[in-house]
Amino acid sequence: EDMYRMDETNCPRGKLGKDRVAGGAGKRTQHQQGGANRETVTALVTICADGSTLRPTVIFKGQNLWSEWTENNGWTDSEIAIEWIKTQFDPQTREKAQSRRRVLLMDGHSSHFTEPVIQFVLTYDIIVMGYPPHCTHALQGLDVVCFAKMKTELKDAVAEFEGLHGNPVAKGDFTGVFGAAFVKAFTEDSVLAAFRATGIHPYDPSVIKPEKLKPAEALSVKSSFALTQTSPVKA
C-alpha cells in the first residue's frame, strides 16, 4: 500500500486514428464530423500496488493557466517534478502511509532526480527508484498495461463529446473528457495487473525475460535504387 509508480503520457484533444462509419451506399468516401486539433495534453498518472490510483495531474501547453481549464487541471521539467512531488504525491500519500516509508518508481529521466527532489524525498522518507535506460518498455507497468486502455477510452470519450456537442474538445472541456476515460481505464484490476506484469508486486524477477532487455540489433535491408548510384552511395 506504500509502493507507487508514476509515468506521463500525451493525450490528444482531437479525434485521431481511423474509425468505421456508416454512410450512404455507392459513395467512394465517407465522412465523419470531428475536431482536427492535434495538440496534446500531458497527463501524470500515479498508481499504487494495492490497486488504487492518485488523482492524475493534467499539464496544458501555454504560458498562463486559464481558470476555466481547471473547472471540470501543463507541466514536465525539473521545476514541474519538484512541484508535483510536493503538492500532489506527498499530500495524497502521507496520511495513508502513517509515517511508514513510501516507495516511488518512475523513469530515470534527469529532470526527476534534481537536487531539490532528492532533498525533499530524503526529508520525508520517500525512496525514489528510476528504471534503467531503455528498459521502460518492459519495466514500466503503466506503459505495459494501462496507457493503451486509457488511449482507447479517451478516443471514445472524445468522439462521444464531439457527437453530443457538435464541436471539438476545448481546453476547458478536456479535464471532464479525460476524467471519464481515466475512471474507465484505471480500474483496480488493471492497476494490479500493471504491477504483476512487470514483476514488481508480487515480486517475481522471472517475469522479465532476458530477451526483453537485449540491446537493439542493427539490421541490414538490401534493396535496389530506382536510378544508378555511384559506388560510395551504394556502399
Q: Note whether residue 176 is domain-resident.
A: yes
**What per-residue confidence (pLDDT) applies to 120?**
96
Compute how many other C-beta atoms are within 10 angstroms of the C-beta atom of residue 92. 15
Q: What percent of the chain has pLDDT over 70?
A: 77
What is d(CA 51, CA 62) in angstroms, rounded to the nearest whole number? 33
Q: Is residue 25 part of a domain?
A: no
Q: Residue 46 falls within a domain, yes or no?
A: yes
- Residue 229 within a domain: no
Go through the chain and tell me how many residues it has: 235
Query: How do residues 176-217 score in pLDDT, each as one tens digit?
Result: 999 999 999 999 999 999 999 999 999 999 998 888 777 767
Q: What average pLDDT does the chain have?
A: 82
Which secondary-structure segment (H or E) carries 78?
Answer: helix 78-84
CATH of the domain at 132: 3.30.420.10
Q: Which domain holds residue 108?
A: 3-13+39-61+75-201
- In a domain? residue 214: no
Has residue 70 been placed in a domain? no
Task: For cell 510536493, name the residue.
Answer: 86
**Confidence tier at 113 by pLDDT (50, 70, 90):** confident
